[in-house]
Amino acid sequence: MKPYRFASFLALAVAILAFADAASDWKAGLLAWRTHREQRLSAPDGWLTLVGLEWLKPGPNTVGSAPDNRIRLSAAAPAHLGVIEVNGSDVRLAPPQGGFPSGVQLDGAPAQAAKLADDEAHNPSKLTAGTLTILLLHRGDRYALRIKDSQASTRLSFHGLHWYDPDPRYRVEATWIPFVPVKKIPVPSIIGVTDEMPTPGVAEFTLDGKTQQLEPVLEKPDAKQLFFILRDATSRSTSYGAARFLYTDFPDHGLDQPGHLVLDFNRLQNPPCAYTAYATCPLPPEQNRLAVALPVGEAKYSH
């Protein structure tokens, strides 16, 4: 073999090996992400532990397992756990008649009367009793109690998620087109509440020869990732019908400058509403309802 042909062959072999290594690393990373997702979902405080979503009324809301409570808990809970008092945006925990039962804790300490912080706060309040955990949600102009049970049947009977086969064709580089200033878009939810959420730009990419666009939102002011809420053609059949979620890193030049980012649709995940009737998931805005199919990521969940 002539020297220049050998050099070309060697360069090609090196390139093929490098590509194979990159593909192997990508798949290993994807499978590790899947494992971590299943572990978090089925953790003692994961989405599979949800057993209740109870809307609070203005004034006192008695909570416990006894029949005379406005909000009934499972038999494992104290007969009278406490009273949640709602006065506008002021939500407080008060003791039941006779005081808080032994074992009821607020933020890791014996429960006492206190103002409760909802899930929009930096440190939301956490009320616990035995295997139950109760959190305060703020949705629109209403408040609700999210109730979790680490021994919920949905968690104990969990046998894993369902996934499409990994496909590197659905890992695409998108062009980032920033919105300056950041605009807000209406994001509906499965409970009928629509929130205005900030979207810093649009991700434009090509799939199956067609140009597509998706607008992400920022979940919180200090968010470190973009949050895409979307549907695609598989939503009518093999993936969860309402939506799927995708989280990505920020674009390479930041949110306010044109740039690029990677959308790996192999990491599409179902929203909590795919597993429980007690979640309050956002739904895709109109511009994120794609006609193209994305047969990758998490498929429809079945027990």
Residues 269-302 have pLDDT tens digits of 999 999 999 999 999 999 999 999 999 999 999 8
Q: Tell me the sheet residues that pair with 230.
A: 244
Reading the block at residue 175, the tokens are: 């062009």
pLDDT tens, residue by residue, 168-194: 999 999 999 999 999 999 999 999 999
298 DSSP 8-state letter: B
d(C-alpha 7, C-alpha 13), whole Å: 10
pTM score above 0.85:
yes
| Domains of the chain with CATH codes | 47-156 (2.60.200.20), 160-288 (no CATH)
Tell me what pLDDT residue 249 has: 97
CA dihedral 139, 289, 250, 298 (to 10 degrees): 90
Reading the block at residue 79, the tokens are: 């007969």
Residue 244 CB-density burial (10 A; 0-12 exposed, 13-18 middle, 19+ buried):
buried
Reading the block at residue 41, the tokens are: 């979902």
Reading the block at residue 86, the tokens are: 């709602």
Ranges of the chain whose pLDDT falls below 70: 1-21, 303
CB atoms within 10 A of CB 105: 15
Tell me what pLDDT residue 76 has: 84
Tell me what pLDDT residue 51 has: 96
Q: Tell me the sheet residues that pair with 141.
A: none
